[in-house]
Every structure is written in C-alpha cells, then in structure tokens.
Amino acid sequence: MTDLAIHAAGLGKTYGGRRPVVALRPLDLEVAPGETFGLLGPNGAGKTTLVKLLLGLVRPSAGDATLFGRPIAAPEARRVAGYLPEGHRFPPFLTARQTLDLFARMSGVGPTHRRARAEALLERVRLSGAADRPVGTFSKGMLQRLGLAQSLMNRPQIVFLDEPTDGVDPVGRREIRSLIEGLRDDGVTVFLNSHLLSEVERVCTRVAILKDGERIRMGTVDELTRQGRAWRLVTSALPPATLDALGDALSIDGTTHEGLVRSTATVPDRAALNAALDRLRADGVEVEAVEPARQSLEDLFVEAVSGSPRLGAAAEPPVDG
C-alpha cells in the first residue's frame, strides 16, 4: 500500500485489432496528495488514455496503478475520485439540481449531504439561478460548470479535470482557475489535462509532457522552464570593451523601448554572475534588472513536442552601445 495520490508502475495501453495502436507506452508516475499536476501533450499524445486508465474506463495492457493505495481495477478506487471528462453529456431532461443529485447518488453520497453539497456547488459555479432548468437548455459554458460541480459532489481526494475551461468565457475561466486553486488549498489533488498552457503554468505545481504515448518531460514548472545557468539582464548601453571582456558569457538579445539593452548572461554559477555584474558596474554600466532566464511553458511545450530549438538560442546580433 502507498499513500500516494497516484502511483503508476509501467502503466501502458495498446489498443488491439489488426493494426495495434500504442496509445500509452509503459509509464511510471507518482503524484503526491495535494499536488496540482498538469498533463500536457499534443492531440493523440495519450493524455486522455492515461486519465481513462487511472479511472478504470480503459483496461491497462501493461503495468498497474493505484489511487491512494487502491488498485485502479477496483471500483472502490474511484470512491475518492471526481472526474470532469472532456465533452461530457448529461441527460438533457434533468435539471442541474437533479443531475447533481443522481450522479452523487451513484458515487455513494448520502441524501442529506447530496442536497447541501449540491446547493453549495451550484452557488460556487454560479448556477444557482439555473438550478431547476433542464440541462438541455444550458450553454456550453454552463454545462462545463455543471460538469465541474458534478465532479466535486463526492468531496473527492483527487479530481481529474479534462479541459475544464473548454467553451468557458474568460470570466468563467478565471473562476474555474480560482476554484482549482481553492481545491489545492483544501488539500485536494488535482490532475489537470489542458491545452491552455498559461492556465497550467499558473495553477500546477508539477507538469508532465506526453508525446506519441511517451513521457518526454516531467518536473516542477520552475524546473522545466528555467534555462540552466542563464540570467536575463537589462542594462544601459554596453561598451565594446566590456563585451570583449565578458566574451561568450554575455549575449545581446535586443533593446527595450527605453533604449536599454536586454542580454543573457550564461555563467557557471552565482559567483561568476556577480563577477560579471561587478565588471559591468566597473565599466559604468547601470543595471536595471537581473532575473533567472526562463522559457514560458508554451515555449517549452512547443520545443518539446516539435523538437524546435529553445527560444533565445539564436540570439539577435549584438547592439553596439
């Protein structure tokens, strides 16, 4: 037994048939309780297959996994889980309140808790005003919010969200993001599958990138986006002598609107960075900003799935000061 929220060992799926399709190559994955884990990847990368495997919708071809120590093959494992699937469908004749009640009943939630929980969640996803309207009259955004409420009815310890902001307007998107942050604050493990990388970057503590059924990157957002031992500098104009002295350690990236120079210092460690800064100041260069160089998650994603070079690898030509 393990107290990990998700523990997968060699979990893989190959769909059979005349031409077998490898949807997910054997994968090891550990997600700790309370983590907000983001799963990224292009279409067909195996993201949904992984979620379906973990929730028992698909049977693994290889390996095994547990949710909070319970084997995924057992229905009991899903008692602690909530799921918002992509493109979910609810019976159109049910009202929002009835939908929450019926699906929570299937999750084993008692009648008293169902009523109170439904009221609270309808309020939380801003559907109180439409609680008694048939679901068939809902817009896509409303359906998405109802799906989110449905996934939380059983007070899950882990919630799988597949494209939770799909079809939701920017205001709704922000609300869903704050809801996810609220779940994180409540200690709920969130497994987020989304194409909106900016959202993943904002809310996830750890991220994995899948491509062609294989995990190609995994780590904290900070680990993945930080570019080794590089720092971005914004300074006043750099004299040629300074550039010559610093050599390969400093590359010019461009200029700001105010005429300041943007450059990247690639040095072995913090001491070397400070030595470079000392040299700049000694040459009369004013330092406006110093920060660790990072890629956006989007840049990282594009680079990872397409194999294109890192952003900034091909720097603009030096700007004479």
Partner 1 sequence: MTGLFLLTLRELRARKVVVGLFVVATVVWVALALALQLDVVDGSLAGARLFGQETIEEPFDPDEPLVDAEGDPVLDDDGVPRTRGSDLPFNGDTLLESVVFTAQAFVSGAAYWIGILLALFATGGLIATLTERGYADVILTKPLSRSAVLGGRLLAVMAVMLALVTYLFGAVWLVMSIKTGIWSPRFLLAIPVVFGMFAVVYSVVTLVGVWSGSGPLSLIVTLGLGFVTLVLAIPELPTQIDRTWRPLVVGAYHVLPKFGAVGTTMVPQLATGGDVGALYPLASSLAFGGACYALAFALFSRKDY
Residues lying near partner 1 in the complex (CB under 8 A): 15, 52, 55-59, 75-79, 81, 83, 85, 87-91, 93-94, 98, 102-103, 105-108, 147, 150
Please state the closest distance from residue 140 (CB atom) to partner 1, in A: 13
Q: DSSP 3-state assignment of 126?
A: coil
Shorter beta-carbon distance to partner 1: residue 75 or 284: 75
Cα–Cα nearest to 265, from 282, 285, 247: 247
- Alpha carbon distance 106, 151 (integer Å): 12
Shorter beta-carbon distance to partner 1: residue 23 or 234: 23
Please state the closest distance from residue 88 (CB atom) to partner 1, in A: 5
Shorter beta-carbon distance to partner 1: residue 105 or 281: 105
Q: How far apart are the first and last CA of the chain?
A: 63
Please state the closest distance from residue 79 (CB atom) to partner 1, in A: 4
Q: DSSP 3-state assignment of 162?
A: strand
Shorter beta-carbon distance to partner 1: residue 93 or 271: 93
Shorter beta-carbon distance to partner 1: residue 78 or 211: 78
Cα–Cα nearest to 263, from 283, 238, 281, 239: 238
Please state the closest distance from residue 137 (CB atom) to partner 1, in A: 14
Amino acid at position 245, single letter:
A
CB count in 10 Å sphere of residue 288? 13
Please state the closest distance from residue 311 (CB atom) to partner 1, in A: 37
Question: Which two tokens mark 96?
Answer: 């929002």
Please state the closest distance from residue 78 (CB atom) to partner 1, in A: 4
Shorter beta-carbon distance to partner 1: residue 14 or 264: 14
Please state the closest distance from residue 107 (CB atom) to partner 1, in A: 5
Shorter beta-carbon distance to partner 1: residue 103 or 301: 103
Q: DSSP 3-state assignment of 84?
A: strand
Report CA-CA distances (Å) from 289 to 164, 198, 232, 246, 282.
Answer: 37, 24, 8, 18, 17
Question: Which two tokens mark 274?
Answer: 């400070």
- Bridge pairing between strands 158-162 and 81-84: parallel
Indicate if the alpha-carbon torsion angle 30, 156, 35, 142 is positive or negative. positive
Please state the closest distance from residue 318 (CB atom) to partner 1, in A: 55
- Alpha carbon distance 3, 136 (integer Å): 40
> Which stretches within 63-158 are classed as H helix?
96-106, 111-124, 140-152
Q: DSSP 3-state assignment of 98?
A: helix
Shorter beta-carbon distance to partner 1: residue 145 or 217: 145
